[in-house]
């Protein structure tokens, strides 16, 4: 299963769909919605998020297991450094390994200060590179402390993330390079909103791969796509989310459409997003679609 996903990432077209477990003790209703739309037939795999924005959600590893068993498609489970120390990270990885949750997206995590839980404190024993190093140790048959396991874990496939925009592109290249050196096989970008931005990221990835300290280490770039169907979403991303650049032309088109009503606003936003998705797929068919569980929107984009 994971070898097939990795082969598609490196040699073929590759599309994954993000799912966000809810503030609920059940994830199955989310999976039912995916199945009702037949989305499992339109993607190569899924991902599950890990308490994004430090808000309490259903566990990403358990969600990944449910998705993977339902559709027999690989699921990339997110693990955040915010909530676990090295002991908990490794314990979760060991348990996930036995039930075949073995594609892991390493994230540093949003700050605990924005959590919906009172007086929450972040752990942050390291950034996402520490988790990548832990995974590397597991793939060598030992814990991060260098103690061999009684049985070698099944191979774990590490993924990482990177911003899609920076005033100094060299900083993005260095971040990519660090994650590749620490073993990341795929690097998912924050949402991309224009073709030139995507081309720059691909160039930076090539440089990062070439300058890694090991000739055997390289990663594939996966372009993040987050459809925008509302003016306020475009304005929020542009003004408040570092590492994402929404072109002024998008904001202006959505502003004009917004004045004509919600239906026109959605129509214009969808057309912009669908055209971008198709253009990115033609440029570099390695994509990760994020729709905040708007699965009908995901279906219409992927169709």
- Residue pLDDT, tens place only, 109-126: 999 999 999 999 999 999
Q: Which residues contact 268 (CB under 8 A, 6 or more apart)?
A: 253, 254, 256, 257
Token pair belonging to 296: 């009908």
CATH code at position 113: 3.20.20.220
Q: How far is CA 15 from the centre of its chain?
A: 11
Judge whether 132 and 107 are in contact, CB under 8 Å.
Answer: no
Judge whether 280 and 223 are in contact, CB under 8 Å.
Answer: yes
Longest dimension (CA), the chain: 65
Q: How far is CA 52 from CA 57, 74, 252, 298, in A?
A: 8, 21, 29, 19
224 by Cβ neighbours in 10 Å (0-12 / 13-18 / 19+) ranks as buried
- Rounded to the nearest 5°, which phi and psi values hold at 188? -90, 130
Judge whether 160 and 179 are in contact, CB under 8 Å.
Answer: yes
Number of domains in the chain: 1
> 275-296: b or e for each residue (b if 16 or more CB lie within 10 Å)?
ebbeebbeebebbbbbbebebe
Judge whether 254 and 200 are in contact, CB under 8 Å.
Answer: no
| Three-class secondary structure of residue 122 per DSSP | coil
DSSP 56-77: --S-HHHHHHHHHHHH---EEE
Q: What is the pTM of this model?
A: 0.95
Closest by alpha carbon to 156, among 178, 175, 133, 126?
Answer: 133
Which domain covers residue 162, as residue numbers?
A: 2-302
- Residue pLDDT, tens place only, 232-285: 999 999 998 888 999 999 999 999 999 999 999 999 999 999 999 999 999 999
- Where the chain has pLDDT below 50, the residues are none
What distance in Å separates the CA atoms of residue 284 and residue 40, rounded to the nearest whole number? 21
Per-residue model confidence (pLDDT) at position 241? 87
């Amino acid at each position: 299963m994971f070898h097939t996903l990795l082969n598609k990432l490196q040699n073929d077209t590759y599309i994954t769909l993000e799912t966000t477990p809810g503030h609920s003790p059940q994830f199955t209703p989310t999976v039912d919605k995916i199945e009702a739309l037949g989305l499992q037939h339109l993607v190569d795999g899924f991902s599950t998020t890990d308490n994004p924005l430090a808000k309490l959600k259903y566990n990403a590893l358990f969600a990944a297991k449910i998705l993977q068993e339902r559709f027999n498609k690989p699921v990339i489970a997110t693990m955040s450094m915010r909530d676990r120390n090295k002991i908990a990270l490794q314990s979760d990885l060991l348990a996930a390994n036995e039930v075949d949750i073995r594609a892991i997206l390493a994230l540093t995590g949003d700050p605990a200060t924005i959590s919906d839980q009172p007086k929450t404190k972040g752990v942050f024993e390291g950034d996402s590179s520490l988790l990548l190093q832990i995974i590397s140790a597991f793939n060598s048959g030992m814990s991060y402390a260098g103690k061999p396991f009684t049985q070698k874990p099944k191979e774990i496939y590490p993924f990482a993330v990177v911003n899609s925009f920076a005033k100094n592109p060299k900083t993005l290249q260095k971040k990519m390079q660090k994650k590749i050196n620490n073993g990341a096989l795929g690097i998912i970008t924050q949402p991309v909103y224009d073709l030139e931005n995507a081309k720059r990221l691909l160039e930076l990835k090539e440089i990062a791969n070439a300058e890694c300290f090991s000739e055997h280490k390289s990663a594939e770039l996966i372009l993040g796509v987050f459809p925008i169907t509302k003016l306020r979403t475009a304005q929020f991303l542009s003004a408040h989310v570092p590492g994402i650049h929404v072109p002024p032309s998008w904001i202006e088109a959505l502003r004009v459409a917004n004045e004509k009503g919600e239906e026109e606003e959605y129509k214009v936003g969808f057309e912009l997003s669908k055209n971008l998705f198709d253009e990115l797929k033609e440029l570099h068919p390695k994509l990760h679609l994020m729709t905040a569980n708007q699965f009908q929107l995901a279906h219409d984009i992927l169709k």
